[in-house]
Amino acid sequence: MLQARPLSSGTRQLNTLRCQRRTVTVAAAKPRQQPGQRRGGGDSEAPPPPKQQQQQQPQPAFRAAQRAAAALCAAAAIALAPLPGAPLGLIDPAVAADAGKVGTCLLSKCQTALARCLADGQCVQNLVCLNLCNGAADETACQIRCGDQYGDAAIDTFNSCAVSEQKCVPQRVDENLFPVPPDSALDPEFDLSGLTGRWFITAGLNPLFDIFDCQEHFFANPEPGHMKAQINWRISKPRGDFQTRSTIQNFVQDETRPGILYNHGNEYLHYEDDWYIIASKPESYVFVYYRGNNDAWRGYGGAVVYTRDRQLPAEIIPELKEAAAKVGRDWKDFVVTDNTCGPHPPPQPLLKEVEADVERVEEAAAMQLRSFGKGFTVLEDRLSSELAAEERELARDLREFERLVEKAEKSAAEKVRQEEALVVEEVESLWSKLTGLLRGGGGS
């Protein structure tokens, strides 16, 4: 996340509070832009304008959301750099200074990716979501949930620049929370061909990565020692709705230890996952313990149980308890998932969705106000002058971001003009050659 400069504790929270209320309310006032697999928002009385008209004349609400997001960028960092959890207003100055370095790096090395982010509806909403996570008790988990809810090419490009290409965001170190298991804990007789077909994740360990609804996965074994997987899962949305996510992963089996599968060589954040099969029973279940690395985080991990049945069969739980103990895990920490995979709920009118979003933000704002406790009234008087100064700084940052966006747009337009000129030149040259050939043929 991007922080232009550390703020004083009280001023930081007042600015954050005002930005949250202003930005999210404005962003919620427009019809939401959903990714390809997400269902549309509420009903609308007027039909949307033609696509070309939308590009030439952005809706005022969306333009306001972009400007508010630019202000947020001046005080927030990308979620892939999780800060240590701290009570509101008690951020360590050293941590704030590190976040300032991240912001400086992003502004100097990822200008184009940042400008595209601020021109993209999903990326703007992601920044708003991340800002709501600041100071939360489960800040890292909250940031990961934002990544689950919002995703498109602009977000991926921004993350890749910040984390992989320019390394603006420091990598989270391996805390050995999920150590590599010993060979004795692996299933020595695991048959990769037995994993083909449809399976369901019916229990998971890590709430950040393993516990989702409707985890229906399909596996294929195209050649010995290789496996291709289509991973499907659902992300819960407000009011009982959901969005479906899907991805393709490729695994290679260890040549000497059949209970290890490697998913390496991925481009995005250079992520790699290692699966350890700690127990399995043909056509019944496969128990997977995993750990992984990417450019943002080394040593994340978890564990899941695959079953042919949609729901976890009770009769296999004793075997699962024994297998979990082999990798130092207690079965009581696992959560049974819901694979009923029901339909979307009936759509709500757009106005009700906006009102619900506003109510949610107001509740979050009230919680942050209460966090100041009895000293809030005194703080408010003392911070009024500081707040005005900080708002002037945010306004300057906003103008700078708008300048970057304008610069990126002009650069893109110039590039298109140059490419068009090159195409015209090549066509004229080809036409001249063709004319010469025709004339030569006519004279023979």
Res 200: pLDDT:
98
178 located within any domain: no
Res 132: pLDDT:
79
Average pLDDT (249-277) is 95
- Tell me: do 235 and 274 sit in the same domain: yes
Res 425: pLDDT:
76
**102-116, 307-321, 364-378: least confident range:** 364-378
- Tell me: do 22 and 163 sit in the same domain: yes
Q: Which residue has the higher pLDDT, 82 or 232?
A: 232
274 located within any domain: yes
258 located within any domain: yes
Average pLDDT (393-422) is 76
Res 58: pLDDT:
46
Res 371: pLDDT:
43
248 located within any domain: yes
Res 262: pLDDT:
98
Average pLDDT (96-103) is 64
414 located within any domain: no
- Tell me: do 40 and 132 sit in the same domain: yes
Res 390: pLDDT:
60
Q: What percent of the chain stands above pLDDT 70?
A: 65
343 located within any domain: no
Q: Which residue has the higher pLDDT, 421 or 6?
A: 421
Q: Label residue 44 by pLDDT band (50, 70, 90).
A: very low
User: What are 292-324's pLDDT values in tens digits?
Assistant: 999 888 899 999 999 999 999 999 999 999 999
**129-143, 162-176, 246-260, 349-363: least confident range:** 349-363
361 located within any domain: no
- Tell me: do 74 and 155 sit in the same domain: yes
Q: Which residue has the higher pLDDT, 126 or 438?
A: 126
Residue 311 belongs to domain spanning: 183-336
Q: Which residue has the higher pLDDT, 216 or 2?
A: 216
Q: What string of H, E and C letters represents the secondary structure of the chain?
A: CCECCCCCHHHHHHHHHHHHHHHHHHHHCCCCCCCCCCCCCCCCCCCCCCHHHHHHCCCHHHHHHHHHHHHHHCECCCCCCCCCCCCCCCCCHHHHHHHHHHHHHHHHHCHHHHHHHHCCHHHHHHHHHHHHHCCCCCHHHHHHHHHHHCCCHHHHHHHHHHHHHCCCCCCECCCCCCCCCCHHHCCCCCCHHHHCEEEEEEEECCCCCCCCECCEEEEEEEECCEEEEEEEEEEECHHHCEEEEEEEEEEEECCCCCCEEEECCCCHHHCEEEEEEEEEECCCEEEEEEEEECCCEEEEEEEEEEECCCCCCHHHHHHHHHHHHHCCCCHHHCEECCCCCCCCCCCCCHHHHHHHHHHHHHHHHHHHHHCCHHHHHHHHHHHHHHHHHHHHHHHHHHHHHHHHHHHHHHHHHHHHHHHHHHHHHHHHHHHHHHHHHHHHHHHC
User: What are 53-71's pLDDT values in tens digits?
Assistant: 444 444 544 444 444 444 4
- Tell me: do 190 and 143 sit in the same domain: no
- Tell me: do 323 and 387 sit in the same domain: no
Res 244: pLDDT:
92
CATH of the domain at 243: 2.40.128.20
Res 78: pLDDT:
39
Q: Which residue has the higher pLDDT, 304 or 436?
A: 304
Res 195: pLDDT:
96
- Tell me: do 268 and 198 sit in the same domain: yes
Q: Label residue 268 by pLDDT band (50, 70, 90).
A: confident
pTM for the predicted model, two decimal places: 0.59
- Tell me: do 320 and 400 sit in the same domain: no
Q: Label residue 394 by pLDDT band (50, 70, 90).
A: low
Residue at a domain's end among 318, 336, 354: 336
Q: Label residue 359 by pLDDT band (50, 70, 90).
A: low
Q: Label residue 422 by pLDDT band (50, 70, 90).
A: confident
Highest mean pLDDT among 34-43, 160-169, 185-194 belongs to 185-194
- Tell me: do 329 and 197 sit in the same domain: yes
**82-86, 200-204, 397-401: least confident range:** 82-86
- Tell me: do 236 and 139 sit in the same domain: no
Res 352: pLDDT:
64
312 located within any domain: yes
Q: How many domains does the chain have?
A: 2
Mean pLDDT over all residues of the chain? 74
- Tell me: do 256 and 290 sit in the same domain: yes
- Tell me: do 208 and 295 sit in the same domain: yes
